Amino acid sequence: MLTLGAIREAHARIRDKIVRTPVLTSETLDAESRASLFFKCESFQKIGAFKARGATNAVFQLSEEEAKRGVATHSSGNHAAAVARAAKLRGIPAYVVMPHNAPKAKIESVQRLGAKVEFCEPTIAAREAAAVRIIAETGAQLVHPFNDYRVMAGQGTATLELLDERPDLDLILCPIGGGGLISGTAVAAKGLKPGIRVVGVEPAGADDAFRSFHSGTIAPMVNPQTIADGLRGSLGDKTFAVIRESVDDVVTVSEAGIVRAMRGIWESLKIVVEPSAAVAYAAVVEGRVEVAGQRVGLIVTGGNLDLDSLPWISEVL
Amino acid sequence: MLTLGAIREAHARIRDKIVRTPVLTSETLDAESRASLFFKCESFQKIGAFKARGATNAVFQLSEEEAKRGVATHSSGNHAAAVARAAKLRGIPAYVVMPHNAPKAKIESVQRLGAKVEFCEPTIAAREAAAVRIIAETGAQLVHPFNDYRVMAGQGTATLELLDERPDLDLILCPIGGGGLISGTAVAAKGLKPGIRVVGVEPAGADDAFRSFHSGTIAPMVNPQTIADGLRGSLGDKTFAVIRESVDDVVTVSEAGIVRAMRGIWESLKIVVEPSAAVAYAAVVEGRVEVAGQRVGLIVTGGNLDLDSLPWISEVL
């Protein structure tokens, strides 16, 4: 079960191992949106993404006996780096399965953190099969990127900090990939402030959570097409259950909207964020959520990307 | 005269009108440099650059009688926006002379702030002539981009904040354009901590301060060639006098070093900085200053640039 109590325990467990990230604002972006926007910038988090929170919570929750055989995971990047770093902090082995087409910067950062990387085909099935094999060989504990209550609780700690700093928020916008972040976000937010709204945002080209939420049945993503590489995964059973229970709505945004939002954040907030991290703000840019006159928290999920190919310069789209 | 007292008065005058900018660190950059680096990030300053400090101090130091006729300046960009914003805050007119080849983003930001922009040829002489004419016509007060004690005192307030937060610094590295920032930096730093070293850094393609400092005579820049567009100007008599008195050394860096430093800051600190803002760190990257084992403050001057042409992607160099 995912509870506010578990998220608070996670925060106590990890707070000295992560960054309390800043909440940034911009008069320009507020004027454009006619709202008050508060960007919780997990791009400044350890390993450059919120994933450090959930992975650190999971790794430090293991018993000594479990921990010594190490941890394993499969991830398109940021979660992999997060598990590698947490394992290094605890002094235990980390085994990471990554798709061979993962961004170069993300692969290198995992290797620098001392994890053993095994490459696989870029499908969920191939990743999971490789992880199962490694776990059988090593006895390592799986730290799933999202469908794991320890990970979901860790991700919720960003919202504890956001609402501690800005208790007057009316609405929180949060990207959805596998649903770990929004699960923690929604449970933390509703636990602290029952009247707050929590809306998930997905790329239209990877809209499984949108379809699942509105149909009431998990509808996995086949062949996702989006620049937001962190959001290509599909919901798990645990994250879907929490999302149905605690999230108010799920909306989608276009690829052009994601790029426009990303560029707007770079220009006005002066920070480097990856495409996935701009998806919540894209919902504001494209008018997919009513925000006028409201105080809106936005989770900016990470800042890891290959600076050689920016979507408004090279031919990514 | 420029004194620590004047810089403290400037800080009291402007502190509620500017941002107390963050000091960022990076384990990666520390490991690469074998030093402890503290980046004072004026890219998060109002109008995206430290120039907000000096211009605000100058504009708010005017008497009511002086202020009502407005202020005028000539600038390649950030100072222009800073004067425009300060004048708007005080509710007085601003007249800005800009070279017609100034970056588009900088021209637009000045216009959005309500200033009247007059374009001129991109030479110091043309800028100054246009400013003189406007002042004769309007009675506006000149706020020079750097050769003005009120401006120099305002720029020094960044170092008051830096040393308040990190009193144990051994060295401060600071870019030099016209010398306003390093004048304030050096006087603030030496006033607070006489044993600290202050080293100026210039692009080799705009090395007038380097030549002036080492020869003892002002050697103006003719035809500067550097991507660091904020540093193309030459020293003034007031800034040169302060630099001779209070700066320990001036070094130069290559264009490739500036681009490498800029990219390193984007990748590791996850912030958007303009080329001029990377020049202090370029001295570390290129080994132009001994930093090993030291605690080093670096002034990151601004974050305004045209995101359509990044030097490591398009053919700027």
pLDDT digits (tens, 9 = 90+) for A43-67: 999 999 999 999 999 999 999 999 9
State the average pLDDT over residues B11-34.
97
**Residue A314 confidence (pLDDT):** 61
Query: For chain A, which residues score pLDDT lower than 50?
Result: 315-317
Give the contacts of B195 (CB within 8 A, at least 6 positions apart). none
**Residue B128 confidence (pLDDT):** 86
Residue B75: pLDDT band (50, 70, 90) is: confident
**Residue A317 confidence (pLDDT):** 41
Query: What CATH number was assigned to the domain covering residues B52-142?
Result: 3.40.50.1100
Query: What CATH number was assigned to the domain covering residues A4-50+148-309?
Result: 3.40.50.1100
Average pLDDT, chain B: 95
Q: For residue B62, give the 3-state DSSP assignment.
A: coil
Residue B44: pLDDT band (50, 70, 90) is: very high
Task: Please identify which residue in the block is written with the tokens 């979507």.
Answer: A311
Residue B317: pLDDT band (50, 70, 90) is: very low
Q: Tens of pLDDT along B168-202?
A: 999 999 999 999 999 999 999 999 999 999 999 99
**Residue B315 confidence (pLDDT):** 47
Task: Please identify which residue in the block is written with the tokens 């042409």.
Answer: B309
Give the contacts of B133 (CB within 8 A, at least 6 positions apart). none
**Residue B104 confidence (pLDDT):** 80
Q: Determine whether the interchain pair B313/A314 forms a contact, defined as Cβ–Cβ distance below 8 Å.
A: yes
Residues of chain B in contact with residue A32, where contact means CB-CB under 8 angstroms, are none
Nearest-angstrom CA–CA distance, B43 and B299: 10
- Chain B: residue whose CA lies nearest to A106: B267
Nearest-angstrom CA–CA distance, B214 and B220: 13
**Residue B253 confidence (pLDDT):** 98
Indicate whether B316 pLDDT > 70.
no
**Residue B314 confidence (pLDDT):** 60
Closest CA to B204 of B262, B286, B147: B286
Nearest-angstrom CA–CA distance, B193 and A85: 38
Cβ atoms of A198 and A230 within 8 Å: the answer is no
In sign, the C-alpha dihedral spanning A202, A206, A209, A210 is: positive
Q: Which among B33, B43, B75, B76 is annotated as catalytic? A: B76
**Residue A316 confidence (pLDDT):** 43
Residues of chain A in contact with residue B44, where contact means CB-CB under 8 angstroms, are 270
Cβ atoms of B88 and B108 within 8 Å: the answer is no
Total Cβ atoms within 10 A of residue A138:
15
Indicate whether B157 pLDDT > 70.
yes
Q: Where in chain B is the domain with CATH 3.40.50.1100?
A: 4-50+148-309, 52-142
Question: Which range among A229-233, B34-38, B282-286 shows the weakest confidence by mean pLDDT?
Answer: A229-233
Cβ atoms of A164 and A21 within 8 Å: the answer is no
Residue B76: pLDDT band (50, 70, 90) is: low
Residues of chain B in contact with residue A263, where contact means CB-CB under 8 angstroms, are 307
- Chain A: residue whose CA lies nearest to B41: A270
Nearest-angstrom CA–CA distance, B304 and B302: 6
**Residue A103 confidence (pLDDT):** 76
Indicate whether B139 pLDDT > 50.
yes
Counting Cα atoms < 13 Å in the Cβ hemisphere of B146 gives 30
Give the contacts of B217 (CB within 8 A, at least 6 positions apart). none
- How is residue A301 annotated by DSSP? -
- Chain A: residue whose CA lies nearest to B48: A270
Residues of chain B in contact with residue A105, where contact means CB-CB under 8 angstroms, are 267
Q: Is A76 a catalytic residue?
A: yes
Beta-sheet strand order (sheet of A23-24) = A23-24, A36-41, A295-300, A171-175, A197-203, A249-253
Q: What is the rounded radius of gyration, in angstroms, for the C-alpha atoms of chain B?
A: 18
Output A126-131 pairs: Cβ under 8 A, ≥24 positions apart: A126/A99, A127/A74, A127/A97, A127/A99, A128/A74, A130/A74, A130/A97, A131/A72, A131/A73, A131/A74, A131/A97
Say whether residue B303 is in contact with chain A using an 8 A CB cutoff: yes
Say whether residue B27 is in contact with chain A using an 8 A CB cutoff: no
Say whether residue A109 is in contact with chain B using an 8 A CB cutoff: no
CA-to-CA dists, residue A242 to A23, A146, A180, A300, angstroms: 26, 12, 9, 21
CA-to-CA dists, residue B268 to A36, A113, A313, B89, B263, angstroms: 29, 15, 21, 35, 8
Determine if the pTM surpasses 0.90: yes
CA B79 to chain centroid: 8
Closest CA to A7 of A220, A201, A228, A164: A164
pLDDT top residue among B3 and A108? B3
Give the contacts of B171 (CB within 8 A, at least 6 positions apart). B196, B197, B198, B199, B289, B291, B294, B295, B296, B297
Q: Determine whether the interchain pair B313/A312 forms a contact, defined as Cβ–Cβ distance below 8 Å.
A: no
